Amino acid sequence: SSIFRAGISGARPRVPVDPARLAKAARRALSTEAYAYLAGGAGSERTQAANRRAFERWQVWPRPLRDVSVRDLSTTLLGRRLPSPLILAPLGVMELAHPEADLAVARAAASAGVPAVLSGQASFPMEESAAAAPGAPRMFQLYWSASDELNESLVRRAEACGCSAIVVTLDTHLLGWRTRDLDLGYLPFTRGLGIAQYTSDPVFQRLVDERARDSAPAEAPPVRLTPRTVAAGITIARKGRRLTGGGLRESLRSPLPRAAVETFLDVFSTPALTWERLARIRSWTSLPVILKGIVHPDDAERTVAEGYDGVWVSNHGGRQIDRSVPTLDVLPEVAARVSGRVPVIVDSGVRSGADVAVALALGADLVALGRPYAYGLAVAGEPGVAAVIRNVLAELDITLGLSGHTAVSELGPASLRRAD
């Protein structure tokens, strides 16, 4: 109701409430390259369109005259109570959106009690995100690197800085064919952006040293990455008024420790990953492990059968395969197969509180938000992310009440009607 009251007071919000206007505001705030990286998808972006179409196929079926004066958005995840079923999907390279990047996201998530999933491709080391929001619920997302020693190190650091689960992303063993970025000749990582989890890691430091030793003349000084370093160039860019406009271009010119970037590109992921190799994670941590990027019921079945702790239905927001299956379409089948044995999380195309309600009704236990909070971050930093979270939760609450439910747990297939 505070959001309504703010609206009634006549004040225009800095962060647009409407999802399309929010995206436009972000586009205005960002450089061409930064916006393309955030907004873009694979190929002709049919998967992104299909993700949205899948939502359009469902309508909420209102049932009035039920007492909905008290409503409960809370839920549980892996034994922990959460104030709502919303979580923030891991988004890498958030320095493209705002200089405070992951730190702003961590703080905004913490103030809403919403778990943040710290990206493996973050702009700040996970320890700094943890320190920015002490005690807040957080998880760590791992891209399975070619070096298992590095994977182990990242997982152990996540456990040490208070992450309650490891999310392994399985749909990015090859980088998607991202046409906007290709046409702009732009890949953040080659500029040393979004590699802070690596440059702050002792195993990665050793891999960089080895690489530099192998390829540089003997008298060349070793590349020294301090734990604080993302890369030299980015620090320069952060000093500018904003990284997102001219600042981004500034960072493109900045000198970077080449060996670090090259090492990152060598190890960042591996197409050789299999179920057998994935199981090694169990010897590195006792934390719950959630698999992200599951879209087939058989893979969901195997996730449960192999003892993993959560199924995250995702097509990476349409960034990996053009013409991939929309997640909302496969969600009911996946949820039926999982049958409550582990939590099911869904993302890709969620833009509003009504979308969250539909995803919950179709079998998700939790719903993850991606691009919209990056847009909030681009428009207004930490308060921008907070506004986006608040708006989604307010609309979810209203949708719940107007459709005749008093708790998110009551949402089910009977809450919906399929559009003709």
Q: Which residues contact 155 (CB under 8 A, 6 or more apart)?
A: 140, 142, 166, 281, 284, 285, 287
Smallest distance from the beta carbon of 12 to ligand FNR, in angstroms? 25
* 98 is annotated as an active-site residue: no
* Residue closest to ligand FNR when measured from CB atoms: 370
The total number of residues written for the chain in this structure? 420
> Which residue bears the tokens 């927001």?
317
Smallest distance from the beta carbon of 128 to ligand FNR, in angstroms? 16
Smallest distance from the beta carbon of 172 to ligand FNR, in angstroms? 7
Residue number, 82 or 166, with CB nearest to ligand FNR: 166
Distance CA 223, CA 226 (A): 10
246 three-class SS = helix
Strands (E), 133-197: 138-143, 166-169
Smallest distance from the beta carbon of 186 to ligand FNR, in angstroms? 13
Residue number, 211 or 308, with CB nearest to ligand FNR: 308
82 three-class SS = strand
Burial of 332 (0-12, 13-18, 19+ CB in 10 A): middle
Binding site for ligand FNR (CB under 6 A): 37-38, 89-92, 119-121, 141, 169, 292, 314, 316-317, 319, 347-350, 369-371, 374
Smallest distance from the beta carbon of 317 to ligand FNR, in angstroms? 3
The full 3-state SS of 254-265, as one line of letters, equals: CCCCHHHHHHHH
Residue number, 206 or 242, with CB nearest to ligand FNR: 242
* Helix ranges restricted to H, 294-420: 297-305, 327-338, 353-361, 371-402
Residue number, 96 or 203, with CB nearest to ligand FNR: 96
Query: How far are the Cα atoms of 95, 256, 288, 338 from residue 248, in angstroms, in the given order?
Result: 9, 14, 37, 44
Looking at 98, 173, 316, 405, which residue is catalytic? 316
Structure-token pair, residue 25? 């505001």
258 close to 135: Cβ distance less than 8 angstroms: no
Smallest distance from the beta carbon of 188 to ligand FNR, in angstroms? 9
139 close to 167: Cβ distance less than 8 angstroms: yes
Residue number, 54 or 386, with CB nearest to ligand FNR: 54
Residue number, 208 or 291, with CB nearest to ligand FNR: 291
Residue number, 194 or 247, with CB nearest to ligand FNR: 194
Query: How far are the Cα atoms of 212, 213, 260, 289 from residue 219, in angstroms, in the given order?
Result: 11, 10, 18, 44
Smallest distance from the beta carbon of 167 to ligand FNR, in angstroms? 7
The closest alpha carbon to 320, from 201, 172, 206, belongs to 172
* Helix ranges restricted to H, 172-254: 179-184, 196-199, 202-215, 232-239, 248-253
Indicate which residues carry an active-site annotation. Answer: 316
